[in-house]
Each structure stands twice: as structure tokens, then as C-alpha cells.
Amino acid sequence: MKKTFYVTTPIYYPNDVLHLGHAYTTIAADVLARWHRLKGDDVFFLTGTDEHGKKIETVAKSKGKKPKQFVDELVLKIKKDWEKLNLTYDRFIRTTDKDHEKVVQEILKIVYKKGDISLGEYEGFYCVACEAYYTEKDLENGNCPVHKKKVELLKEESYFFRLSKYQKKLLELYKKEKNFILPDFRKKEIINRVEEGLKDLSISRKSFDWGIPLPFDKKHITYVWFDALTNYYSATRKKGKEKFWPADLHLVGKEILWFHSVIWPAMLLSAGIKLPKTIFAHGWWTIDGEKISKTTGNVINIPELIEIAGLDSARYFLLREIPFGSDGDFSKKLLIERHNSELADKLGNLVSRVSALAEKYGIQKTENNLLKKFKTKEIEKHIENYEFDKALNEIFAFIDSCNFYVQTKKPWETHDKKVLYELVDSIRKINYYISPFMPETSEKIDKIFKTNKIKKAEPLFRKIEVKT
């Protein structure tokens, strides 16, 4: 039987069109999904939208729309953007999908029966933008630490999930399953916080109604995170998809690691469902040194991202520029510089020179000694360890070796068909490894080199002037 690989992105809030930050997680998931398909694994790649809750209800109201109508319109836009990014997801799950809603209620019933849910009163702070509860200690000058916005003071009847009961089990889990939370420095942060103690979590609200009613008390609406986290599991309850649970990898941004590495496993432990294997938290992008923010207008949306230097250059840049897991700064200038000096000058140049020479002089099969310089095992290890920057670095080190080989062997003087074969064969191997990162470019390269009657290629990347 084929090995399965199940990767997920967070499900995004459809309260506005998505931007570079959301594209980042989804592109990384796409690279991994494509990589595992290339290796012959049976892949399930899930993305989608988190549609319930106060945040969506409030924005919809402000636009004079019913929540469902509002999210329906945005989902269409998000799907169009995802298409532009050439993403190969297998399902786009929406928390308003009936099959998902059913599974959320089913889990709530199990957890309730187990005695892990009880009625109480919540008094404290709530940030609608995060859809999260905060204590006074968490706040920064009375504001939410993530959005720096005013928080609501709540006091209402609510059902609580006994998160505190799972503190010990969670700590044991982090210790035993070394890759449950990655990267390691993030795992340490989570362990420290969990060691400080866990408070029971308010998982229902009565003051609004855009969400899933609790099956045992219909006056209460399920807390949006309890609903949303379940998506990863509910997607595998469809016929034929059961084999994908437990998920291999939940990719998330660092700001929502707590929900994924503490609340989600506690919910699953309570419901008696197997736990996902890895939760990887990546860092945050700023743009030109500033936080991405709709309010200040410092945003790059998906069409803008693609327009800078083309889709594959954007995909390449996002994964090449910073180690996955670290924060980074995005600028159009840096993207264009990498596009020019790495994609056009190195990869593009190699492909156009070799294809032109191969057309002119032909190729003759021989042992490929040049290939010995290609560190494919290292590249594979890097991809499996989520070190995309290092993987791309290695691939480009070999592209440098190939360009150097052309330069020193001078096939335009020697007309050496064997040297040209080595180069063509090397490009074919390079293409295998770049295909998950730059699928369009890879298709073009494949068309040129899949036959032995090679024709001179059109330039893969046109240089762009850097405007300062």
C-alpha cells in the first residue's frame, strides 16, 4: 500500500481578501504536497475557511449582509486567488459545510458525555479579531497583544472544556513525541506556558448566533476555535479519506500555535481520537520593515504578489529568503533581485545556453560525472525537515556547478555531444527537485528537455529593472 501524507493549512477567516502572509503558509503546504506526490505517496492536502463566529458576523453586518451571503462571496474570491497561486489542494473545507458541522457536534457530544464539559460563567476579556480569551496579565496597555486593539469585557453563562485536566498528559506528549511541535524553540515556549498551568476553556457563547449550536444546549453557540480546529479531522470522515487520519502535518503561523498544540490535542485526547504527528509553526512576514496591516495599507494581496516578478519567482522568494520558522521582511526590491540574479542569471541562463547548444550540436549518452556534485540526499533531507531555504540553496549550488561546467568545457568550441548530454541530463534532474517549488517553470523545462531533439528555449525569466 502507498504511504499516505496528509498536510493542512490553517483555515482562513473569510472577512477580507487574503494576502501574502496567508499565501505563504499555503504555498509551503503546496510544496510539500507536490513533493510527496512526486515521491509516489498518497497525498491529501486540505485548506479552507473558518466562517463562524463574532468576527465574521460583525463584518458581515457592517456590510449590510447576512453572514452566509458575505462569506460565500469572499470564498469565491479566495478560491480564485488560490487558483492564481497554482495550489493543488484536494479539498477546500468550509466550516459551514454540513459534513463538518455534523462532526463538530458529534465530538462535542462525546466530550460532554465524558464529563469534560460543564456549565459555568465566563468573566474576562475577549479579542474579536483573534477570537481569543485573554487575562488581564496578557494585555498590553489594556489592548490585545496580537492586534493591539481594544478587547471586550465579557460576563456571561458559558460551557467550559476541562483543559486543565490535560496539562500532565500534554506535557508527557511533548516530551515523548519529539516532533509534535516544531521548531524546537517554539516547543520550549509552549512547554513553559503549559507548565505554568492551564485554565478551563470557555467553549460557548450565548450573545450571538452565527455558529454551530451545542448539541446538548441549543441556546449556546460553539466557540469558533473549537469548531474550526475540528476541520482537520472532519475532512477525513468523508468516504475514502479515513485513511488520512492522523494528519502528518498541520502548518500554522506562530500566533496560532497555542490553539493547535494545546487546545487541539486536548480536545482529541478527550474525544479518544488519535493525535496529529507534527504541528509546525512558521514565522511572520513584515513588508518593508512594517507589520502587514489593512489599516495602514501595508498589504500585498495575491494579484499584487504575482505581478512583481511572476508567480514562480514569488513562490521561490518566499521559501528561499528566510528559514521556515523564522520571521522575515518582504520587499519588492529583494524579490526582484533574486529573480534577476538567481532565476534569470543562473537557472534561466543555464537552460537557454544548454538548449541552444544541444539543438546545434546534439547530445550523446554517456556516464554523467557532473551529477556527482548534486547533493540530492541532502536536498531530500532538507525538504523533509522543512528547511526549504537550504534545499533551494543546494539546488542552486548545483546550478552554479553546471554553469561553471559550460564555461570551462566550452562546448561551443569543442561541439562535445557528451558534455552536452551531461548538462541536459543534469537539467532534467534539477527539474525534478525544483518542480514542487516552481511548477510552471518546471513544466516549461520539461517540455524542452523531455525529448532528445532539443530546441532552443525561450527565456524562462525576463530580467526586471529594480526601481528604487
- List the catalytic residues: 19, 22, 127, 130, 144, 147, 291, 294
Q: What does DSSP assign to residue 426?
A: H
Nearer to ligand MSP among residue 288 and residue 446 (C-beta)? 288
Q: Which cell numbers in the block locate residue 42?
A: 498518497
Q: Is 29 in the site for ligand MSP (CB under 6 A)?
A: no
The interface region with ligand MSP, picked from 5-13, 137-145, 149-157, 335-343 by CB under 6 A, is 5-13
Instruction: Decide: 131 and 141 in contact? Cβ < 8 Å.
Output: no
Choice from 50, 51, 389, 416 touching ligand MSP (CB under 6 A) = 50
Other beta carbons within 10 Å of 128:
19
Could you give the 3-state DSSP secondary structure of residue 17?
coil
Q: How far is the CB of 227 from ligand MSP (least distance, A)?
A: 9
The verdict on 22 binding ligand MSP (CB under 6 A) reads: yes
233-272 footprint of ligand MSP as x/- string (CB under 6 A): -------------------xx--x----------------
Is the C-alpha dihedral spanning 145, 151, 153, 157 positive or negative?
A: negative
Q: In this complex, which beta carbon is closest to ligand MSP, that of residue 112 or of residue 223? A: 223
Nearer to ligand MSP, 7 or 228 (CB): 228
User: For the chain, how many residues are written?
Assistant: 468
Do residues 59 and 118 touch, judged by C-beta distance below 8 A? no
Whichever of 253 and 411 has its CB closer to ligand MSP, that residue is 253
Per DSSP bridges, beta strands 278-282 and 249-253 are: parallel
Q: Using an 8 Å Cβ cutoff, are 352 and 454 in contact?
A: no
Q: Binding ligand MSP by CB under 6 A: which of 5, 7, 21, 117?
A: 21
Burial of 357 (0-12, 13-18, 19+ CB in 10 A): buried
- Spell out the residues 6+ positions from residue 192 whose beta carbon is closer than 8 angstroms to its own: none
- Whichever of 14 and 411 has its CB closer to ligand MSP, that residue is 14
**Cα separation of 377 and 304, whole Å?**
36
Strand segments, DSSP code E, in 331-432 are none
Asked if 11 interacts with ligand MSP (CB under 6 A), we say yes
**Measured from the CB atom, is 134 or 374 closer to ligand MSP?**
134
Answer for the pair 91, 125: CB distance below 8 angstroms, yes or no.
no
Site for ligand MSP in 200-229 (CB under 6 A): 228-229
- Would you count residue 285 as binding ligand MSP (CB under 6 A)? yes
* Percent helix, strand and coil across the chain, each to the nearest 5: 50, 20, 30
Scanning residues 326 to 355, which ones bind ligand MSP (CB under 6 A)? none
Q: List interacting residues with ligand MSP (CB under 6 A).
A: 10-13, 21-22, 24-25, 50, 228-229, 252-253, 256, 284-285, 292
